[in-house]
């Protein structure tokens, strides 16, 4: 199963992994994003996106079928929300607005099967998203194998985007089962009183906070992720040896392309 998790394999390679962010519903949109060259994962945003439960299930399936890793950002770290994302077959989950070490421990507990956690087994949809092979030549994965291997094959990603989590980032990063500490720069800046002035324009205090998260996460032997709004900004964080980097979201990409083409037409 681990071999089918493209994002996990990309992270283990030591090279930066890049992904797209889906906020609009639709499996066709998921496929269009997932077929973009150069991406390893697509985040289906169940927190701020217009993504309902059924939409999330369809998008996870579409992304996995294209060979990329579907990652679901849940609305918050509730047990049932994490369960729905993982039962859909997500290769990883992102949990926003972590506040404390206990929050991080609960995310791990809700994401892992016993004895590491208390996730329940029963979804008929999850295992197929990890099945190797192409259409017509699929090696099926049964529930028993999924139960045995899922704990090591699913990425647990916690967002560090509050002042409280920033203060405790060393302890949060050290939690067994947390794979990635993911920086949410907008909410982090708001929380510490230094909101971004524009996309990618950060006050020195916010830059210092981001660097602290990166430093403590790496020291714990974990991977660091961050949300960016452009390929240029993503490149700067790749150069800083961040591991998991969002490149652009669908709404932003659509608006940018339409604006550029409309401007070109009016010249």
Q: How many helices (H) and strands (E) does the chain have?
A: 12, 8
Q: Is the pLDDT of residue 135 over 70?
A: no
DSSP for residue 112: S
With 0.85 as the threshold, say if the pTM is over it. yes
* Contact partners, residue 252, CB within 8 Å, separation at least 6: 229
Q: Is the pLDDT of residue 120 over 90?
A: yes
Residue 197: CATH number of its domain: 3.20.20.60
What is the pLDDT confidence band of residue 133, given thresholds at 50, 70 and 90? low
Mean pLDDT for the stretch of residues 50-55: 98
Digit-coded pLDDT (tens) for 145-188: 999 999 999 999 999 999 999 999 999 999 999 999 999 999 99
Task: For residue 48, indicate whether it is catalytic.
Answer: yes
Mean pLDDT for the stretch of residues 78-103: 98
**Residue predicted with more confidence, 171 or 142:** 171
Mean pLDDT for the stretch of residues 234-239: 97
Work out how many domains the chain is built from and give that number. 1
Digit-coded pLDDT (tens) for 96-113: 999 999 999 999 999 999
pLDDT recorded at residue 212: 98
Active site residue: 48, 79, 194, 214, which one? 48
Structural domain containing residue 184: 2-265
């Amino acid at each position: 199963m681990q071999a089918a998790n493209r994002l996990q394999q990309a992270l283990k390679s030591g090279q930066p992994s890049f992904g797209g962010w889906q906020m609009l519903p639709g499996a066709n949109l998921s496929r269009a994003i997932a077929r973009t060259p150069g991406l390893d994962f697509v985040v289906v945003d169940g927190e701020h996106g217009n993504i309902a439960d059924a939409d999330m299930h369809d998008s996870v399936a579409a992304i996995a079928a294209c060979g990329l890793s579907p990652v679901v950002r849940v609305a918050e770290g509730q047990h049932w929300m994490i369960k729905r994302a993982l039962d859909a077959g997500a290769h990883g989950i992102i949990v926003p607005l972590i506040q404390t070490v206990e929050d991080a421990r609960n995310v791990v507990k809700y994401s892992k099967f016993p004895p590491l956690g208390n996730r329940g087994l029963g979804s008929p949809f999850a295992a197929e998203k990890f099945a190797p092979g192409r259409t017509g030549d699929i090696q099926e994965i049964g529930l028993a194998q999924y139960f045995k291997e899922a704990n090591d094959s699913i990425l647990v990603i916690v967002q560090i985007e509050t002042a409280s989590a920033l203060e405790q980032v060393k302890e949060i990063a050290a939690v067994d089962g947390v794979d990635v500490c993911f920086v949410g720069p907008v909410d982090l800046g708001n929380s510490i009183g230094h909101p971004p002035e524009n996309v990618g324009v950060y006050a020195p205090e916010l830059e210092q906070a981001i660097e602290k998260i990166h430093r403590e996460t790496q020291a714990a032997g974990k991977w660091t992720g961050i949300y960016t709004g452009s390929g240029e900004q993503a490149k700067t964080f790749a150069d800083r040896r961040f591991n998991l980097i969002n490149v652009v979201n669908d709404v932003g990409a659509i608006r940018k392309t339409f604006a550029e083409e409309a401007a070109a037409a009016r010249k």
